[in-house]
A and B are shown apart, each in its own frame.
Chain A
């Protein structure tokens, strides 16, 4: 418990200190707000525009989650297939490597041409980008199972289904979760970037409008909101991991 408190308040203290230094410097050198606003300015701005930021933040969060889930599920399934079946590995892996080399964010204009002003191209692109890291971690996870565990499961007469649920998936889960934790933050970036290109709402859209009107404090306010979303989503996955993989608690500290 004290350890947990420490993990929260130590970084918080650092952060607060940093903001104070920032505030002091901005005031001391009289930096103009549209170049670098003082923390007090954009933090107040968050409260001022709270309803709007909350609404737009919710829209962005929804897209992040849809895209993330739409990328994760095929990533895990395909990871399982590639790790488990030689033929899938031979057929799919070259394709995967090729697509992975593609800078997928550059597909955004194309997807927008194809699918127009809707959520679909945003979700699709987010899922495409989250898909690959999850796939790679899933393959590693499913391959990490000791071959002798397969011997054990076969000698117990386990069905393919039982082997999957009781041996393979839990063995792969730690790798999958470490992929999820990294990827969710990438998804935040992707959605905001796509919202720049095509949107009449969402945090990306707010940032763009703020830029047009040289409203730098609002840009910073959105930045704070976006990173808060990232932190909370990441924390959500950590909580999920603790619930689903209770044995992991302490493994790292004790291994």
Chain B
């Protein structure tokens, strides 16, 4: 019951967010600064996580697929598939839900409890659109780049570990990367990522926007944001995979 009420409230908020903006020029500069705050500032985290996962996946594959019947290039192939199909979109989105989602929810939540949102409303500004729309546009646009970046870095991490440990021949790794490559897989991952960006940003904004009470509420909102957007990502992942891949 509560879930349905929340979904209804969320839908109404999104309607408010996507109603006609007051003034485009102001939105433009806000989108730019959100891209920096939410996108550019996540590059470091994405890089670190991707390079390690790429390396670990390669290691795991090398150990698991150690058999004379399986050609070594399969390791490179498997690493590529894991990175492109799931890791750099779904897992990176989950991690960004933790970083960006809690950031958005606490920022908007604080604005709510210190009456900054009321102040915007009194000025006749559509606070939902003014605060949330730039964040949504910025992340939907920027997160797919983070996904591409994550793919590259992860695959490079695999290559790095292959040449550093000699667990496999780096040339085979490269061969594997080229093996059976369909560029569609990348577009599939990017489409997914754009959806996830929307989910994380809109749900986190929703949690912050309706925070009630004192600073305790802000903490609660940001936890709620991470939990809800993670769950929504998993559900959406399943649905999108079903629709886009079959």
The yes or no verdict on A and B being binding partners is no
